[in-house]
Amino acid sequence: MSLSHRPGELVGWERFAAPSEFSESPLAQAFRQPVLLGLFLPIQAGGWSASTYPRTTDWRFDYNRDLVLKAEQLGFDLVFALSQWLPKGGYGGVFDGHALDSFMTTAALTAVTQRIVLISTIHVLYGPMHPLHLAKYAATLDHISGGRWGINVVTGHRAVEHEMFGSHRIEHDRRYELAAEFLEVVQRLWADNENWSFKGESPWKLDGAYVTPKPRFGRPVLVNATGSDAGISFAARYSDVVFITSPTGSSFDSAIASLPVHAARVKEAARDVGREVRTLLNPMVISRETEKETWDYHDAIVAHIDRDPEASFNRFDSDAHAWRGRVGRDAPKRRAIGGNIEVIGTPEQVVEQFVQLKRAGIDGLQLSFYDFQPDLEFFGDRILPLMKQAGLRF
| pLDDT reading at 338 higher than 90 | no
Q: Name the residue among 122, 159, 115 with its Cα closest to residue 316.
A: 159
| Burial class, 339, CB count within 10 angstroms (exposed 0-12 / middle 13-18 / buried 19+) | buried
3-state class (DSSP) for residue 290: coil
Do 243 and 341 meet the contact criterion of CB atoms below 8 Å apart? no
Do 50 and 280 meet the contact criterion of CB atoms below 8 Å apart? no
Identify the structural domains of the chain with CATH numbers, from first to last.
19-389 (3.20.20.30)
* pLDDT tier, 5 (very low <50, low <70, confident <90, very high otherwise): very low
Q: Please count the other Cβ atoms lying within 10 Å of the Cβ belonging to residue 234.
A: 25
Give the pLDDT of residue 10. Answer: 61
DSSP string, 327-342: -STTHHHHHHH-SSEE
Share of the chain above pLDDT 90, in %: 80
What average pLDDT does this structure show over 61-68? 98
Which tens digits make up the pLDDT trace of 356-388? 999 999 999 999 999 999 999 999 999 999 999
What average pLDDT does this structure show over 33-52? 97
- Between β-strands 283-286 and 221-225, what pairing exists: parallel, antiparallel or unpaired? unpaired
Query: Which residues have C-beta within 8 Å of that of residue 289, sequence separation ≥ 6?
Result: 346, 347, 382
Give the pLDDT of residue 214. Answer: 97
Give the pLDDT of residue 299. Answer: 96
Query: Which residues have C-beta within 8 Å of that of residue 12, sequence separation ≥ 6?
Result: 1, 2, 3
| pLDDT reading at 307 higher than 90 | no
3-state class (DSSP) for residue 171: coil
Do 288 and 372 meet the contact criterion of CB atoms below 8 Å apart? no
| pLDDT reading at 57 higher than 60 | yes
Peptide bond into 213 cis (omega under 30): yes
| Burial class, 111, CB count within 10 angstroms (exposed 0-12 / middle 13-18 / buried 19+) | exposed
Give the pLDDT of residue 311. Answer: 76
* Three-class secondary structure assignment of 231-245: HHHHHHHHCCEEECC
DSSP state of 278: E
321 or 189, higher pLDDT: 189
Would the pTM of this model clear 0.85, i.e. be above it?
yes
Give the pLDDT of residue 324. Answer: 56
DSSP count for the chain of H helices, then E strands: 13, 12
DSSP string, 176-233: HHHHHHHHHHHHHHHH-SS-EEEE-SSS-EEEEE---SPPTTSS-EEEEE--SHHHHH
Give the pLDDT of residue 157. Answer: 81
Which tens digits make up the pLDDT trace of 17-27? 999 999 999 99
Which tens digits make up the pLDDT trace of 116-170? 999 999 999 987 789 999 999 999 999 999 999 999 999 988 899 889 999 899 9
Query: What number of CA atoms fall less than 13 Å from residue 14's CA on the CB side?
Result: 16
Which tens digits make up the pLDDT trace of 101-114? 999 999 999 999 99
